[in-house]
Structure 1
Amino acid sequence: MTIKNSPRQILLPLLMAAILIGGIWLGRVLTLRSVPQGTERLLIYPQTNKLDALLNLIEEEYVDTVKKDELVEAIIPELLKNLDPHTVYIPASELQEVNEELEGNFGGIGVQFSLNNDTVLVISVIPGGPSEKLGILPGDRIISVDDSVFVGSKVTNNMVMKKLRGPMGTKVKVGIARRSMTKPLEFTITRGAIPVTSVDASFMIDDKTGYIKVSRFAKNTYEEFITALAKLKSSNCREVIVDLRGNSGGFLDVAFNMINEFLKKDEMIVYTEGKASSRQTMTANGTGSCQDTRVKVLIDEFSASASEIFAGAIQDNDRGIIYGRRSFGKGLVQQQIPLPDGSAIRLTIARYYTPSGRCIQKPYENGSDDYYQDIMKRFEHGEFYEKDSIRFSDTITYKTKGGRNVYGGGGVMPDVFVARDTLNYTEYYYRLREKGLLYQFALEYADRHRDRLSRLKTAAEFEQVLSAANITAELVKYAEKSGLTPNPAQFNKSKRLIDTELMAYVARNIIDNEGFYMLMMRTDEILLEALKTQDGVE
């Protein structure tokens, strides 16, 4: 059966459609009349996100050609500056390099190098690494890379790393000049995984005291730390000194694991809390290998973040003694979040609090420049020399487990403050360091006498041999040739400092970091204070 539609049924939908179209047209006309003249184009970009609309408008209508991606790269860092100093944007081109420091390895040829007289000098080769396997030796000079000359004043440290580092499994061709050879040697090296160590040294200072220097809290640091502790305990270590000076932090879970070695079961390590992050409390699990070993921690103004968590947990649990100067004051927790183009943002998501409840984050309301100039302000204020000049932004008094007073809002205050000792610092000594002459001479001396010095195995042997050789007198002549006029009075006043640093640098070039730190102990005021203090806090 056929049903016929009435004229009303046919016309009504058409009328409603016409009204709808007319309404849309009228709304657009009225909107155009209501906006300022010249801004009509914005309506082409109806995004609710004002930033996207602006970027699209600039890309489409700006008088000159611009690249939207470049604008975005420039805007993001400026945007993040309005948050806190530790929320940062990492471009895709820099992400791998930034992560390598904490990931524990990178692709490379396996050498430590230094630029000496515009030439790349191999200081040491990584045991088991690609270069050692091919026979590259300490003292070799890299004079070409991939058949291109690689010497001269234009060669920089950054350039060397970019040329020699690369994806694992890729190859790089290097030309080597060796003192014993008349012609250059050529090696094609397959890049491998090169470990980034973070425990720089571990050794026994005396028959009961062990020393561990930790430079960062990276992915492999806990394993390195456990190995160092086992080595010291096998030498009957009954007291361990953990040196965190200059350690700017890293992975918090690594710090938790390291602190766990010293605390009893259920003792608090740290807790974190943020607007979108509920409180999380970390406590010791009671499996630590050093729960009954005495511990001392060394910090300074460059110890930050995970270093401060470590020091704060030891201090608040009255587990050990903290020596040195007030730490940096970073109590913010970042999470690295990847972005679609391969870049990332490290976003602050929480604050951390030591067991006593203090947040040691220093103020940052006046911007990043003021925040990072705080260290210089401390120096000018006299804080490095006088304990009484130290001020905290948090006026609340917190209590350690044993009832001692501690403070927040600006770093961890050591139990034993050790002022900078500048009594023997002179202009001559400063000039030697500023010009890099101490390091340069030590490098050249080690290179000239490598065969003889390589027979030495301990810091004590280095001290004996180098003292007898009177290498400091050679340094004075070397510095004079470089334009630094000797000043006998200032030299004699700073001689102990100069002797110590010079021997330590020579030892580092031959037997690596342990020799360096063993010799530097002679003038290390904070470490010497820690060795002098016995039981309790002075």
Structure 2
Amino acid sequence: MNRRTRIFLPLIIAISIAMGIFLGTSLNYQKKTITFFGGTPQERKIKRLIDYIQYEYVDEVDTDSLLDGTIKHMLDKLDPHSVYISARELEGVSESMNGKFVGIGIQFRMYRDSLTVVKVLDKGPSEKAGIKAGDRILIADNDTLYGKQINSDYILKTLKGKPDTSVDLIIYRKSEDELLPFTIVRGEVPINSVDAHYMLSEDLGYIKINKFAATTYQEFKVALNDLLDKGMKKLVLDLRHNPGGYLQVATQIIDEFLEDGKLIVFTKNKKGRIDETFATSKGDFEDGHVFVLINGASASASEIVAGALQDNDKGTIVGRRSFGKGLVQQEMQLGDGSAVRLTVSRYYTPTGRSIQKPYENKGNGEYFNDFEQRYHGGELMNADSIKVNDSLKYETPKGKIVYGGGGIIPDIFVPIDTTMFFPDFHYQRSRQFVFQYLDTHVDEFEGWSFDTLMSDFDKDKHIFNEYMSEIPSEFQSFTGEEEKNFRLYLKALFAQQIFDINAYFRIVNEQDMMIRKVIELHDEGYPIDP
């Protein structure tokens, strides 16, 4: 331990203790406004300590950074989901969960020292102004953005701003080989949480939700109504890799499936207060059957949806055991633009089970990344390898046995498809390859419809062969099935760039084992009522 560490360690411990006292006495979000350094002895104590460090300590110290680290250290001692969010991080998190941001509406990347538009976002200012994918943004408000090293934060700061402000751009358009001036008025750009919706068959619909944000319910209703208009009788609700979000939004979606008066979820805080949420009579899909797809990355609000439907004997849960998060967080502002998300209660499914997996005596790395443990334990390949606790056994109204204590166990298990997993190199390199290919073959897909791409894309394998010719030899070994699935993945990436994310999922789902299992069940007339 060096001299500086010996000096700082007592200070950090002292601040941790003082902050712990402060949180314990003042952080009652229902009754008090959260303020730092008020009139209590504990608050005055920590304020005095920080003043000593700031004004008397022998070296210059960034007390803000010291305090941030101390808060994070304290929260790490609570549970894995109580977290500190700095002011800088909070802006991005808030945008994502609000379902919109203010900017010019593009996806971009630095390509050969130029800021290049990868995708123009639907209904955004750039689309209205006529910006196209492949355009190089050379200058923004007289600030040169090419030929130098700039990071994403700098670009975002330049292109984003307040609503109705403008930014003057000079763009190089390769297809026209000329510089073009644009003035774009910044505006709200939607961040969609419903990735895709389409019909899998004549009466089987599909909706993919990536998170439960402020706008998710409205997006879901649009998708649901569109599919109902197309004759949907059964729905596949894909919640795989959905980490959760707002509980209230999840309950709104569940209400579309459950009859009036059915219990959706209840929460309990440290004082024993129970808050229950019940379905209403407004649901538009109460008579339809829903298949919910989950996996080990389906968490929190996704598990509330799956648990509510499973416990009410409504629908069928398909896939693999979910993540296992049964804790509810409250976001609390700290007065300087930062915030904490503090666990304030636990939630329980209608039968009364908590699906929170154990986190005591586990580091955050082990807690959040237990994929390998599940894989080596065999549960990703075999349902019989899923460990259950008989003391946490519950029964649904129709007599189905369900378990608490670590995620939602599906009604119908589908093993992992190892042929769909490629080395990380391919996921990264293939996206770069697709962008480069489209950038240098501008006219190849001109006038193509989605149906044309589905039937005619890379029939002679020239695109696949070009990709393989550009990668190191150690990544060129594919089995026949792996090559087939990777070519499908390449096709989906092209569809995403040429059309949209909906087109991407329509293609990758063709070989998806869970989707194929649902179609098999559907074709067999499942569910068969007793």
TM-score, normalisation: structure 2 = 0.85
1:478 to partner: Cα distance: 3.3
1:457 to partner: Cα distance: 2.7
1:51 to partner: Cα distance: 4.1
Partners of 1:363 and 1:92 in 2: CA distance: 30
Residue 373 to residue 424, structure 1, CA distance change in 2 (3 Å): closer
Q: What corresponds to 1:457 in structure 2?
A: 449
1:392 to partner: Cα distance: 4.2
Q: Is the 8 A contact 2:420 2:486 kept in 1?
A: no
1:261 to partner: Cα distance: 0.2
Q: What corresponds to 1:16 in structure 2?
A: none
Partners of 1:501 and 1:467 in 2: CA distance: 12
Q: What corresponds to 1:466 in structure 2?
A: 457
1:432 to partner: Cα distance: 5.4
Residue 450 to residue 299, structure 1, CA distance change in 2 (3 Å): farther
Q: What corresponds to 1:490 in structure 2?
A: 478
**What letter corresponds to residue 495 of structure 1 in structure 2?**
E
Q: Which moved more, 1:191-200 or 1:113-122?
A: 113-122
> Which residue of the other structure, out of 441, 457, 476, is the alignment partner of 2:465?
476
Q: What corresponds to 1:536 in structure 2?
A: 527
Q: Is the 8 A contact 2:316 2:412 kept in 1?
A: yes
Residue 410 to residue 457, structure 1, CA distance change in 2 (3 Å): same
> Which residue of the other structure, out of 490, 495, 507, is the alignment partner of 1:507?
495
1:56-205 pair list within 5 angstroms: 56-151=51-146, 154-205=149-200
Question: For each residue in 1:416-451, what CA deviation from the matched residue of structure 2 results, as whole angstroms up to 9, or x when unmatched?
Answer: 1111122576xxx537515x2322222233334444
Q: What corresponds to 1:343 in structure 2?
A: 338
Q: Is the 8 A contact 1:107 1:165 kept in 2?
A: yes
1:515 to partner: Cα distance: 1.1
Residue 431 to residue 46, structure 1, CA distance change in 2 (3 Å): closer
Q: What corresponds to 1:11 in structure 2?
A: none
* Structure 2 counterpart SS, 1:231: helix
Residue 274 to residue 391, structure 1, CA distance change in 2 (3 Å): same
Q: Is the 8 A contact 2:419 2:485 kept in 1?
A: no
RMSD between superposed Cα atoms in Å: 2.5
1:523 to partner: Cα distance: 1.6
Q: Which moved more, 1:147-156 or 1:205-214?
A: 147-156
Partners of 1:120 and 1:415 in 2: CA distance: 48
Equivalent pairs, count = 486
Residue 150 to residue 408, structure 1, CA distance change in 2 (3 Å): same
Question: For each residue in 1:478-535, what CA deviation from the matched residue of structure 2 results, as whole angstroms up to 9, or x when unmatched?
Answer: 3323433675x73534221122101110010011012111111222111111111131
Q: Is the 8 A contact 2:104 2:126 kept in 1?
A: yes
Partners of 2:299 and 2:267 in 1: CA distance: 16
- Alignment pair present for 1:441 and 2:433: yes
1:8-87 pair list within 5 angstroms: 47-48=41-42, 51-87=46-82
1:340 to partner: Cα distance: 1.9
1:354 to partner: Cα distance: 0.5
* Structure 1 counterpart SS, 2:117: strand
* Structure 1 counterpart SS, 2:510: helix
1:365-376 pair list within 5 angstroms: 365-366=360-361, 367-376=363-372
1:243 to partner: Cα distance: 0.5
> Which residue of the other structure, out of 277, 290, 293, is the alignment partner of 2:285?
290
> Which residue of the other structure, out of 418, 427, 443, is the alignment partner of 2:414?
418
Residue 338 to residue 170, structure 1, CA distance change in 2 (3 Å): same
* Structure 2 counterpart SS, 1:530: helix
Residue 491 to residue 142, structure 1, CA distance change in 2 (3 Å): farther
Q: Which 5+ residue runs of structure 2 have no aligned equivalent?
A: 1-38
Q: Is the 8 A contact 2:105 2:124 kept in 1?
A: yes
- Alignment pair present for 1:303 and 2:291: no
Question: For each residue in 1:350-381, what CA deviation from the matched residue of structure 2 results, as whole angstroms up to 9, or x when unmatched?
Answer: 00000111111111112323312323322232
Q: Is the 8 A contact 2:392 2:405 kept in 1?
A: no
1:207-246 pair list within 5 angstroms: 207-246=202-241
1:114 to partner: Cα distance: 4.2
Partners of 2:246 and 2:188 in 1: CA distance: 21
* Structure 1 counterpart SS, 2:90: helix
Partners of 1:523 and 1:153 in 2: CA distance: 43
Partners of 2:142 and 2:56 in 1: CA distance: 48
Partners of 1:327 and 1:442 in 2: CA distance: 32
1:352-431 pair list within 5 angstroms: 352-366=347-361, 367-392=363-388, 395-423=391-419, 429-430=422-423
**What letter corresponds to residue 358 of structure 1 in structure 2?**
R
* Structure 2 counterpart SS, 1:335: strand
Q: What corresponds to 2:12 in structure 1?
A: none
Q: Is the 8 A contact 1:266 1:283 kept in 2?
A: yes
* Structure 2 counterpart SS, 1:269: strand
Question: For each residue in 1:175-223, what CA deviation from the matched residue of structure 2 results, as whole angstroms up to 9, or x when unmatched?
Answer: 3121232322222322111111111111111111110010110111101
1:152 to partner: Cα distance: 5.7
1:265 to partner: Cα distance: 0.9
Q: What corresponds to 1:35 in structure 2?
A: none
**What letter corresponds to residue 519 of structure 2 in structure 1?**
L
Q: Is the 8 A contact 1:271 1:353 kept in 2?
A: yes
> Which residue of the other structure, out of 507, 513, 525, is the alignment partner of 1:525?
513
Q: Is the 8 A contact 1:299 1:322 kept in 2?
A: yes
Partners of 1:384 and 1:162 in 2: CA distance: 43
Q: What corresponds to 2:22 in structure 1?
A: none
Partners of 1:216 and 1:336 in 2: CA distance: 17
**What letter corresponds to residue 433 of structure 1 in structure 2?**
H
Partners of 2:387 and 2:132 in 1: CA distance: 52
* Structure 1 counterpart SS, 2:156: helix
* Structure 2 counterpart SS, 1:453: coil
- Give percent identity, aligned residues only: 40
TM-score, normalisation: structure 1 = 0.84
* Structure 1 counterpart SS, 2:473: coil
**What letter corresponds to residue 70 of structure 1 in structure 2?**
S
Q: Give 1 or 2 for the bigger CA radius of gyration.
A: 1
Residue 537 to residue 516, structure 1, CA distance change in 2 (3 Å): farther
Partners of 2:445 and 2:312 in 1: CA distance: 46
1:409 to partner: Cα distance: 1.4
Residue 213 to residue 486, structure 1, CA distance change in 2 (3 Å): closer
**What letter corresponds to residue 381 of structure 1 in structure 2?**
G
Residue 451 to residue 387, structure 1, CA distance change in 2 (3 Å): same
Partners of 2:59 and 2:424 in 1: CA distance: 51
Residue 79 to residue 51, structure 1, CA distance change in 2 (3 Å): farther
Q: Which 5+ residue runs of structure 1 have no aligned equivalent?
A: 1-44
